[in-house]
Amino acid sequence: MKHIFTMQEMQECIDLSPVNRWIGLTISGMTATSITLYLPMRPDLEGNVELGVLHGGIMATIIDAAGSYAITAHYGHTNATIDLHIDYLVPVNGPCVYVTTEIVRMGRRIALMDMRVHDHEGRLVAVGRGKYSHTAPKPKQEA
């Protein structure tokens, strides 16, 4: 499968989202079937300040984003999340996390994606599975 976008163009897509810019989400790799995103850890992303661990909602955000942007990299248009399931395996309190998406199945309208989150030591910390609608959006009608 060929990418529609380069890594730099994908970063520009990622940066269109104010949330992605705020949390500092960046692309760190692409292959023919996957995309990897990087998130640096900082205190305002913590869910438990006593333990210094990444907030679960931030983890969910990057897992969902990885699934979505993997489709964008291949098809060149936006998509919508239909379903997302996440298993949080261990708390994250290192300097960063990486989330990698693998395409499980790419149908005509629905894509099934698996996402795996690793900490800076390569330890698996969360897994996600998402279904995404990837039909090209219809142009807005003028009123």
Whether residue 140 is contained in a domain is answered as: no
Whether residue 143 is contained in a domain is answered as: no
6 vs 58, residue with greater confidence: 58
pTM of this structure: 0.89
For 80, the domain range is 7-133
Residue 3: which pLDDT band, with cuts at 50, 70 and 90?
Answer: low
What pLDDT does residue 37 have? 97
- Give the pLDDT confidence of 63-90 residue by residue, as tens digits: 999 999 998 888 777 789 999 999 999 9
Whether residue 38 is contained in a domain is answered as: yes
Is the pLDDT score of 20 beyond 90? Answer: yes
The residues near 3 (Cβ < 8 Å, ≥ 6 apart) are 30, 32, 73, 74
Q: What's the total number of domains in the chain?
A: 1
Distance CA 135, CA 110 (A): 8
**CATH code at position 19:** 3.10.129.10
123 vs 106, residue with greater confidence: 123
Whether residue 14 is contained in a domain is answered as: yes
